[in-house]
Structure 1
Amino acid sequence: MENRETQIKLKNDAQAKCADVDYRALLPMGVDGDFTHKEGDFRVFDRSLCQFKTPYRRRDFYKITLILNKGLLHYADKVIEVKPPTLLFSNPLIPYCWEAQPGEQLGHYCVFTADFLVRNSPGGVIPDLFTKKQTRPVYYLDKQASEKISWIFRQMDQESMSDYTQKEALIYSYVQILIHEASKRKAVEQPHELNHTSHAAARITALFMEMLDRQFPVDIREGLQLKKAADYAEHLSIHVNHLNRALKEVTGKTTSEWLTGRLIQQAQQLLLQTDLNISEIGYALGFEYPSYFNQFFRKVTGRTPASYRVTA
């Protein structure tokens, strides 16, 4: 309970320091956050709906956006100025926030799942543009390219509502065209000077907390995706020492301390609330061997997982 209250306070404080940027909206989302369960694995939206926000929940969406307004894209390590028209590619593991200038939001975006990409891509491989962690896939467009891409979004929207039996393959072909349009161009790397050090630390801390929240409760079938401090730093495109300094400044704890706390909390819940054996729990939490999990749990709690399960 104390950890959760600390995180809530931290998020509120961090948001206040970051010019009222809402870091709960770091990940791609549609108007209906559960659309993948109702409408399939691909949807197209008009950006005029972006004024509405949905609650933060765990998501596994990929997103392509045509932005026709000025604004700022906030990443952990930089802020990129968006000059319309701009094409943006987003994936679930690189957190970001869009800060728009006042006024109606113009453009289009589509959201889709990893399953959609795997089913339709050659060899079931997700395109590189969605897997590069060190690159911010933001591309400025000229007027001609913008009009072409707007037309593609309209076509995808029409096809997604059609009865054509091969519509998913057709839609993916349009996604491929968008990827090719981006590949013709050089990604924008235009960092803006951050206001001050505490601003940057608050930004990094808020983004880390959002990523940490997305890992738990752990999906037993997939296991923990980000296991070490270095994994989080890599996805934030910063050095692990930079991440540690930011967290220590804002929260008083290091990355490893936050990870240890959440791992123990999750392990205790799985031990008490599930019938999974100890080796299954350890593996789901990123421990290759049961002995490693036992040593970790005992070092932190003073008890073995087996004794905790029996006596807690």
Structure 2
Amino acid sequence: MYAIDTEIVIPKYSLAADLVTGSTLFAINKIANATNYLRKDFLTPHRKDYYFWAFVKQGSSRHWIDMKPYTLQPNTFYFTIPHQVHLKEDTSPLTAISLGFTEEFLTLEENSFLRQLPIIQNQNNGHELNLSDADVTFIEDMLEKIYQENQTHNTWQHSMVIGYLRILMIYLSRLYTEQFNEAGALPDRVLLKRYLTKIEENYQQQHDVATYADMLNLSAGHLSEVVKEQSGKPAIVHIHERLILETKRLLFHTDHSIKEIAFRLGFEEASYFNRFFKRIVGDTPVSYRTTIREMYH
């Protein structure tokens, strides 16, 4: 299979070092009625290679995450996962507290528990949590505690920050579960998570279930059976969904040709790529690009 890294097409930014601690794994910032962003090119499509969270106290600008627009609302919590496509349409005043943390931060031994939380896994591809008055009070208080602790150089500072962060993440995960109806989801889907991780790492080159089964030291039949049981979808569907998501991102946010997008996603023939996309989406890539751009521009 022939593939090129799609990150070359849409710029990717790493987490800027925390202004106080200098950490490139975790950072927290306050934004007070600001219109100046760290990078002017945030007004063009870009990716973040880290988790980005923001409690918006005041704001009204329109942002995009992948192909979905969001008009910021006061007292609302927004969250994204690495490698999604972001776009800000303007630089309207914003008052917020933002958090950024990397995959490496979550692999630290003391943070391993956090990886299992619903808001981190984000199986429902959500980006916005509606908050009650009580939620706003609790979340704002926890963020303030994290921010203030991060400013100090007290003994066990790191442990205090992690402690507050764990409480905040559990609280947000409860809200996530309530708002995205995950109550009936299976609590332990270890193989499914491993499978989805492998897809995320390899979807540009590998498109068949058997290859992923080999990576996981399983038979294709067993992998397919367990994935269907744990997700309700055939194993191949997860591969196709990831390819379609990336295709839609590139069609919407770039002007690259269909042939180039096909090659970037590991398709040797653009004609086969066209048939693949139309079979799943019900429209050709060219028609989809035209329709989605007319709808939102």
Aligned position for 1:227: 204
Aligned position for 1:90: 80
- Consecutive unaligned residues of structure 1, counting only runs of 5 or more, are 1-6, 12-22, 190-222, 262-312
* Residues 204-234 of structure 1: per-residue CA shift (max 9 Å, x gap): xxxxxxxxxxxxxxxxxxx965534879974
Aligned position for 1:52: 37
**What percent of counterpart residues are identical?**
14
1:163: Cα distance to partner?
A: 2.3
Normalising by structure 1, report the TM-score: 0.50
- CA spacing shift, 1:252–1:107, aligned 2, 3 Å: same
Aligned position for 2:53: 64
1:101: Cα distance to partner?
A: 6.9
Counterparts of 1:82 and 1:188 in 2: how far apart (Å)? 19
Normalising by structure 2, report the TM-score: 0.52
1:123: Cα distance to partner?
A: 5.2
**RMSD of aligned C-alpha atoms?**
4.4
**Partner SS state of residue 85, structure 2:** coil
Aligned position for 1:295: none
**Partner SS state of residue 63, structure 2:** strand
Q: Is the CA contact 2:31–2:94 (under 8 Å) kept in the aligned structure 1? A: yes
**Partner SS state of residue 164, structure 1:** coil
The one of 90, 100, 106 aligned to 2:95: 106
Aligned position for 1:296: none
What pairs up with 1:191-270 in 2 under 5 angstroms? 226-228=203-205, 234=241, 238=245, 251-259=257-265
Counterparts of 1:233 and 1:78 in 2: how far apart (Å)? 20
Counterparts of 2:60 and 2:250 in 1: how far apart (Å)? 33
* Residues 219-272 of structure 1: per-residue CA shift (max 9 Å, x gap): xxxx965534879974587386x56876998524253323469xxxxxxxxxxx
1:35: Cα distance to partner?
A: 4.4
Counterparts of 2:123 and 2:140 in 1: how far apart (Å)? 27
1:166: Cα distance to partner?
A: 2.5
- CA spacing shift, 1:246–1:81, aligned 2, 3 Å: closer
- CA spacing shift, 1:248–1:76, aligned 2, 3 Å: closer
* Residues 115-162 of structure 1: per-residue CA shift (max 9 Å, x gap): 322222345745332233541231011233223222222211111122
- Consecutive unaligned residues of structure 2, counting only runs of 5 or more, are 1-6, 182-199, 208-237, 268-297
* Residues 41-97 of structure 1: per-residue CA shift (max 9 Å, x gap): 322111235622336798532222101212333122322333221111222122223
Q: Quick check: which one's strand share is greater? A: 2
Counterparts of 1:227 and 1:239 in 2: how far apart (Å)? 9
Aligned position for 1:73: 63
**Is 1:43 matched with 2:30?**
no
